[in-house]
Amino acid sequence: MQAPAPTGFPAPVQYKSPKGYEGLEERVPLRGLRRAIANQMVASHLYTVRTLSVDEADLTELVELRARLKAEAERQGVKLSYLPFIFKAIARALKKFPSLNSSMDEARQEIVLKKYYNIGMAVATDAGLVVPVLKDVDRKSVLELAAEVNELAEKARTGKLSPEDMSGSTFSVTNIGSIGALFSFPIINVPDAAILGVHSIQKRPVVMENDEIKVRHMMYLSLSFDHRLVDGAEAAMFCKEVIRLLQKPDLLLLEAI
């Protein structure tokens, strides 16, 4: 039976097999994780005013820093990716731009400004997209975050995430670059106010301040945000702050800036 359309929305388009091709179709029930993903995507589309802000970061210094720290991290049993640095930069930036760390309480028509920083990490699995959450990112070191990223990613791939592992996010990140994508328009993980897409790090020629052309490690950032909660100028300034921290990654190893 087809579910009724929400009040004020037209009924969903009813699918009908093309005549003569019925035997060449396979039908898979929409249920379980795939149904949950579909419902979350529909909710994001219907209940946010999704807007995109795009910028790019010169990650040359971060690439060099990770290369220097990678061996030491491995000696401590931790695989060090770029994500812990990105999460740390985001948590710092969210403190300066709190509207990005908010939610809309639709029932009470209130904006909820959160003083905790839990970052959802979108992970593609064979069963579908899941979003485990790293809690209290602002209180953890880069190495602690790296270990947690690896643990949650493994639990996601093996289907061992608990409901607690996937609840309580205040902001989300989707690492499209891990599969080679250049650019994306991420879907907000409601009830978060925003999600940041991070993309492939690619070597590109860049004109420096002294007009010298150098090869740098560049990455696009695409911030998708709910325009009801976040103004465009604040979204752009948030991205600039994340970029500032990623371009001077030594700052992320300090307790305060």
What is the set of active-site residues? 227
197 vs 49: CA distance, rounded Å: 17
CA 16 centroid distance within chain: 36
